[in-house]
Structure 1
Amino acid sequence: MARVSVSAGRDVQKIVDVAAHVIDRTAPPERPAADLHCVDKEDLAPGCRRVIDIHRLCAIENLDAAEEWLDSWVAGVDAQASRTVELSRRVAALTGNARSRDGSITVTVGSSGALESLGLDDQALQTTGADLSRHITTLIRQAQAHLAAQVTEQVRQTVGLDTETGQAVLHSFTTRFPAPPDDERPDRRAW
């Protein structure tokens, strides 16, 4: 549990202890909750959000107001966690698809971007191995870019594009699956 120290009454200390427990429970595993201290505002390190939140709690004189603030804060954390779980569920169900202009080659990638299916008809086999390989690789990149676009929409609908969670998910997908170059886009290249 996070260590919290305050210079306030016992009732506020109890609320701060609950807040520290909630912070520990909701801290991402890769970043354990740090020690939390209520100190004067000028002593706070810049960007120390948890300390600032606990400082706000300690500054509340009325126990009812402190409990209300804490309930609101916990509800916000729970709501964000629910939206994140929903985003994860939606992304896990996504696939990306691409098809050659003549329909002779189709690909589907799963939510990880890995190839799940490749469809070739006889017309696709009427080319050289090198051309076929290039066409398949291009279609896989298009399907991955299609997947990334769908993830962007799911982020927008659930956690929001401007949230820390949303930005992290988008960065992960757009870094791994960037939009294909213009000469590989489906509407620019005839096969």
Structure 2
Amino acid sequence: MTTDASTPRDWLDGYLARLDDTAVRAQQASTEMAAVTGTARSRDGAVTVTVEPSGALLDVVFSPVAASITRERLAEQLLGTAAEARRAAAAKAVDAAERLWGADSATMTLLRASLTGPAQ
């Protein structure tokens, strides 16, 4: 008989509960991250871009204003607007992940670095 309140079975039950919790949080993170997007619009409204946190384009819309500017300027606006949309999506992804993993966790350090770059 042990005087310690913790038995091997208690330890195993606690370990299994932590594994279950991690699996649930991983599924939540996956679901939330899959839904995160960022959308930005150029100042003149010529371009609207929607992207994933990684920057992958999901949608590009050119307004009638786009027809009145040069292709070079339109390309610049597309790239700049896509970068702005990516920053917005990355910020949303970090916010969603912080709710699940905690702002100071090792997971968040890695995620922040991959989405927003190294800490300055």
Q: After superposition, give the CA deviation of every residue in 1:58-101 in whole Å (9 maximum; x if it has no partner).
A: xx886962221221122112212211211011101111100012
Instruction: Kindly report structure 1 stretches of 4+ aligned residues shifted beyond 3 Å.
Output: 60-64
In the alignment, the residues of structure 2 paired with residue 71 and residue 164 of structure 1 have an alpha-carbon distance, to the nearest angstrom, of 25
Letter in 2 for 1:144: R
In the alignment, the residues of structure 2 paired with residue 75 and residue 104 of structure 1 have an alpha-carbon distance, to the nearest angstrom, of 52
RMSD over equivalenced CA pairs, Å:
2.3
**Which structure 2 segments of 5+ residues have no match?**
none
Letter in 2 for 1:128: T
Is 1:156 equivalent to 2:106 in the alignment? no
TM superposition score normalised by structure 1: 0.55
Cα distance, 1:108 vs structure 2? 0.6
Q: Is the partner of 1:119 in helix, strand or coil?
A: strand
Which protein shows a greater Rg? 1
* Paired-residue identity, %: 32
Cα pair 1:104 1:123 within 8 Å, conserved: yes
User: Which protein has greater RCO, CA pairs closer than 8 Å, 6+ apart?
Assistant: 2
Q: Is the partner of 2:96 in helix, strand or coil?
A: helix
Cα pair 1:93 1:111 within 8 Å, conserved: no
Alignment of 1:91-106 (within 5 A): 91-106=33-48
Report the equivalent of 2:68. 126
Report which of the two has the higher share of helix.
2
In the alignment, the residues of structure 1 paired with residue 6 and residue 75 of structure 2 have an alpha-carbon distance, to the nearest angstrom, of 68
Cα distance, 1:147 vs structure 2? 0.7
Cα pair 1:92 1:111 within 8 Å, conserved: no
TM superposition score normalised by structure 2: 0.83
**Which structure 1 segments of 5+ residues have no match?**
1-59, 176-191
In the alignment, the residues of structure 2 paired with residue 122 and residue 61 of structure 1 have an alpha-carbon distance, to the nearest angstrom, of 78
Is 1:68 equivalent to 2:4 in the alignment? no
Q: Is the partner of 1:97 in helix, strand or coil?
A: strand
Q: From the superposition, tell whether residues 77 and 162 of structure 1 become closer, same or farther in structure 2 (CA, over 3 Å).
A: farther
Cα pair 1:108 1:143 within 8 Å, conserved: yes
Equivalent residue pairs, number? 117
